Amino acid sequence: MRRSTGQVLLLALCVTALVSQGFSQQDVKIGVVNSLGVLERSTEGKRIVAQLEEKNKSNQQKLNDMDDEIRQLETKLNTQRLTLTDEALMNLSADIERKRTDRKRYAEDSFREFQQLRDRLFNKLQNEVRPIVEQLGKERNLEIIFDQASSGAIYVSPSVDLTEEVIKRYDVSKAPAKK
């Protein structure tokens, strides 16, 4: 195992040396786009964020309402325990358990639906932004464009950051056509 790890390491070093030698002979033009910046600052991105916040707020309100119902039933059970018949106690306890189960299911279902909505909206935005980024890359003769949000970049020179231009073009592409 140690030998194969050493071989992989040696191979990786050789590839790195060859690639860096190739890059040193020609300038590589690089661009960077911050996809989170596009999401946060573009008109469509702001609409998506607002839609997701509204959905989350609605889900939370429904869960809070369900929690209130459960608390009311629990209070009733605790305060009337001595005066209720055994059958009424059993029915009330069953109601509480049913509402807890309903709440748990709603929480799980709404979370899954929220994630699906978020993924669908983010993918739509990415698919709409991708041609804009590609066009910018072609216009500026860039060989590669990184997404700053997922690249792990620690520093990016403002001269290679295309985010503002992508946002401007994306907003223009989503603006209603003027008549």
Tens digit of each residue's pLDDT (9 = 90 or more) over 17-76: 445 555 555 688 899 999 999 999 999 999 999 999 999 999 999 999 999 999 999 999
Structural domain range at position 108: 21-174
In a domain, 146, yes or no: yes
Q: Residue 154: its pLDDT value, please?
A: 67
In a domain, 134, yes or no: yes
Q: Residue 8: its pLDDT value, please?
A: 45
Residue 55 has which token pair?
């959905």
Q: Which residues contact 57 (CB under 8 A, 6 or more apart)?
A: none
Average pLDDT over residues 142-156: 83
Q: Residue 36: its pLDDT value, please?
A: 92
In a domain, 88, yes or no: yes
Domain count, the chain: 1
Q: Looking at the whole model, is its pTM more than 0.75?
A: no
In a domain, 110, yes or no: yes
In a domain, 154, yes or no: yes
At 140, which helix (H) or strand (E)? none
80 vs 13, more confident: 80
In a domain, 14, yes or no: no
Among the listed residues 101, 120, 102, 103, the one whose alpha carbon sits nearest the alpha carbon of residue 55: 120
- 108-123, pLDDT tens digit by residue? 999 999 999 999 999 9
Q: Residue 117: its pLDDT value, please?
A: 97
In a domain, 16, yes or no: no
| Token pair 């050789």: residue | 14
Q: Residue 159: its pLDDT value, please?
A: 85
Q: Residue 149: its pLDDT value, please?
A: 86
In a domain, 76, yes or no: yes
Highest mean pLDDT among 71-80, 137-146, 154-163: 71-80
